[in-house]
């Protein structure tokens, strides 16, 4: 089952988690040093909701931003 919104097509995006060590210069240290960078995925907030579609009721996986914007009509 793919993690894609069936209304707007929003899907997973990639990014990094950055691990830093040390005390900031503004706080009297020698500055923050990066000790590790790991790839990660940012997943959309998908919800299974029942939607009125073509006069019938269907279950769809929709992101919360589409639900808030009113792009789908819930049952």
CATH of the domain at 24: 2.20.150.30
Looking at residue 75, its pLDDT comes to 86
**Residue 65 belongs to a domain:** yes
Please enumerate in sequence order all residues whose Cβ is within 8 A of that of 6, keeping only pairs 6 or more positions apart, or say none: 60, 61, 62
On whether residue 56 sits in a domain, the answer given is yes
- 67 phi/psi in degrees, rounded to 5: -65, -45
Residue 57 domain flag = yes
Domain count for the chain, please give it.
1
In a domain, 2, yes or no: no
Write out pLDDT tens, residues 57-75: 999 999 999 999 999 988 8
Domain span including residue 39: 13-69
pTM here is 0.76
d(CA 75, CA 3): 22
62 occurs within a structural domain: yes
């Amino acid at each position: 089952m793919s993690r894609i919104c069936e209304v707007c097509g929003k899907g997973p995006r990639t990014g990094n988690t950055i691990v830093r060590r040390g005390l900031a210069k503004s706080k009297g240290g020698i500055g923050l040093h990066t000790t590790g960078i790991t790839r990660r995925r940012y997943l959309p907030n998908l919800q299974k909701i029942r939607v009125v579609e073509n006069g019938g009721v269907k279950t769809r996986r929709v992101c919360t931003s589409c639900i808030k914007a009113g792009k789908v009509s819930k049952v």
